[in-house]
Amino acid sequence: MARPHAGYFDPDWYLAAYPDVGRAGLDPLRHYLRHGWAEGRMPRLLTAMLRARDLGLGCLDGGVPALEDMARSHPDPAERAWAALAVAGVYADGGDWVAADGWLRLLDPSRDIIGGFGQPDPALLAIEAALATGDLPRADRLLAAARRAFGRTHDLVLAAANVARARQGHGAAWRGNLARLYLRAGCSVPRVMVGDGPAFDRLTAASLRRRRNGPLVSVLMPARDAATTIITALRSVMAQSWTNLEIIVIDDGSVDATAVIAAQMAAVDPRIRVVTSTEGKGAYAARNIGLAEALGDFITVQDADDWSHPARIALQLRALTRDSAKVASLSHWVRATPDLCVTRWWGGAGLVHPNTSSLMIRRGLRDTLGYWDRSRAGADTEYVYRIRQVHGDSAIAYVRPGLPLAFGRHAPGSLTGSAVTGIGTLRMGARRSYHLASLRWHGDTQRGSVEKGNALPLPQHPARRPFAIPQALSVGDLAPLPQEADHLLSIPPLLQNPKVLVGYDAEVV
């Protein structure tokens, strides 16, 4: 593999802007390629990058048209390139792939998309845009150039699978690309069964080395109006290679056939039991009902619209049983369309992300840390950070990084895709306010400065909220709106780079 090239990188500016790199005696380009990009550092002074950041924060004067003007007319090619990439990303996030592809076609593929910034993310965006607009030859050329520059990364292998799917469906070429990831990890390769309906709902994989003896794992599946998806989700749990499971479906006031379907599947598999809730307070409150009833030594979650690889639970359990210092484990996932095209999710940070909806915990955390926060979104990430605050960063095991052990169903109308509660509000909006408030609460719990009734463990039904949250995320618990100014006073270093938080949500943050 050729060493990635970053034609728009300025080593002198980089060392001046980030003196820690120079003090450590590191090569600036090598540091940027290996660490700097992931840490949110710029390759050179780029006004377009700063304006794109401001746009994400909701405070760019002129909005998207201001970036479009830069992409058309800025005299610096690096500024034009980044502005066009940012604009294309905005349109892609909104589902307008024709507009996204149009802006990307203003760029030179080699100079701007592949070689300009030394990272595969622009290429992944351009490949998906080409596929979405039906230009397979362009997708092929971009994929080949990206492979020459970056090698067969997990993301580019999945991009190759997308190209194969567009050309030949979910046959040998599609599976051959996936085999590069799964066989290397000792896992069976996903395939699509013959039949009718969306390919997502025909996804399957062999269950290798099925285990019956060992600790009980409780799987919590909150479901509301999930009649069209819950069969796929339950089948994927029933097919797990770790078989000592109790599967608790919490029907959260569905008005469709969700409860009937779950009951029918419970009649077939006695490991499934259905709990009916009339609370209607969202997925986390529903999970808490299951958490209160869980009997397993270990407890994990399965969303009612996702699919898990048969090895997911076994691999996450193994990480905990082999290391007593680990109190929780997480695997990774991808978002996919109904036709199983793996798609970008948020933040331009690749295709594979940590999956907080896969969190597996030791049962003891229920007694020491408590339950999920009662919020419409964001509580997955809050719980992960709660674990880190109390037990340290090393207490969570990340299983098979880069390998998708779950496929999340891409649903633009979900909470994650919503303009008000969506993942994009991590930059500015409801999720960002929620996250910063939760971090302050975590700090208070560790400093012992939390008022009585607001400390750990968090009860299933707290008398008051542990911290204030935006009204958009409230499930009806009494809480004042957060003072937005408080959230803007200081941004923790972790939040300066939105890439770090990709994949953390209720679905995920």
pLDDT tens digit string along 421-479?
444 444 547 888 899 999 999 998 888 777 766 789 999 999 889 998 988 899 887 66
| CATH number reported for the structural domain that contains residue 474 in this entry | 3.90.550.10
Mark whether 229 and 173 lie in a shared domain: no
210, part of any domain: no
Between residues 451 and 406, the one the model is more confident about: 406
Q: Which helix (H) or strand (E) holds 383?
A: helix 379-391
When pLDDT is averaged across residues 340-362 and rounded to a whole number, the result is 89
Question: How many Cβ atoms sit within 10 Å of the Cβ of residue 425?
Answer: 25
Whether residue 414 lies inside any domain: the answer is yes
Domain final residue pick, 181, 200, 225: 181
User: What's the pLDDT at 479?
Assistant: 60
Q: How far apart are CA 509 and CA 504, in angstroms?
A: 4
Residue 132 pLDDT more than 80?
Answer: yes
Q: Do 252 and 297 belong together in one domain? A: yes
Among all chains, which residue has been given the structure tokens 């690749």?
350
49 plus 175 within the same structural domain: yes
Predicted pLDDT of residue 498 = 38
5 located within any domain: no
The reply to whether 1 falls in a domain is: no
271 and 177 housed in the same domain: no
| 15 CB neighbour count, 10 Å cutoff | 16
Q: How far apart are CA 243 and CA 199, in angstroms?
A: 26
* Co-location of 286 and 401 in the same domain: yes
The rounded Cα 403 to chain-centroid distance in angstroms is 13
Burial class (CB in 10 A: 0-12, 13-18, 19+), 26: middle
- Where does the pLDDT of residue 4 fall: very low under 50, low under 70, confident under 90, or very high at 90 and above? low
Query: Looking at residues 295-304, what average pLDDT do you find?
Result: 98
Assign 500 a pLDDT band (cuts: 50, 70, 90): very low
Q: Which residues form the domain of 320?
A: 215-509
Does residue 485 have a pLDDT over 50? no
Q: Please indicate, yes or no, whether residues 146 and 262 belong to a single structural domain of this protein.
A: no
Q: Euclidean distance between the first and final Cα of the chain, in Å? A: 35
Residue 250 lies in a domain: yes
Count: domains in the chain: 2
Averaging pLDDT over each range in 88-97, 263-272, 496-505, which range is the top one?
263-272
Helix 77-93 vs helix 47-56: angle between axes, to the nearest 10 degrees?
A: 20
Q: Which residue has the higher pLDDT, 278 or 157?
A: 157
Shared domain for 434 and 312, answered yes or no, is yes
> Is residue 92 predicted with pLDDT exceeding 80?
yes
pLDDT of 419 > 50? The answer is no
Domain boundary among the residues 181, 206, 229 is at: 181
Same domain, 176 and 245: no
Mean per-residue pLDDT of the chain: 89
Please report whether residue 194 resides in a domain: no
Average pLDDT of span 500-508: 32
Per-residue model confidence (pLDDT) at position 412: 61
- Interstrand relation of 272-277 and 245-252 (parallel, antiparallel or unpaired): parallel
**pLDDT of 15 higher than 50:** yes
For residue 495, name the pLDDT band (cuts at 50, 70, 90): very low
The answer on 259 and 124 residing in a single domain is no
Domain boundary among 181, 200, 233: 181
Structure tokens at 286: 């529903």
The tokens for 294 are: 């869980």
Between CA 8 and CA 16, with CA 12 as vertex, the angle to 5 degrees is: 120
* Cα dihedral 427/429/432/434 (nearest 10): -170
Sorting pLDDT into bands at 50, 70 and 90, what band is 344? Answer: confident
Q: Indicate if 391 and 483 belong to the same structural domain.
A: yes
Asked, for residue 96, whether it belongs to a domain, the answer is: yes
Model confidence pLDDT, tens digit, residues 23-74: 999 999 999 999 999 898 999 999 999 999 899 888 899 999 999 999 999 9
Question: Is residue 499, in this structure, part of any structural domain at all?
Answer: yes
Contact between 42 and 16 under an 8 Å Cβ cutoff? The reply is no
pLDDT for res 441: 94
* Judgement on whether residues 169 and 236 belong to the same structural domain of the protein: no
What is the token pair recorded at 145?
Answer: 């150039």
| pLDDT for residue 490 | 40
Q: According to the model, what pLDDT value does residue 347 have?
A: 58
Please check whether residue 497 is in contact with residue 39, taking contact to mean a CB–CB distance below 8 angstroms.
yes
- Taking residues 258-273, report their average pLDDT: 98
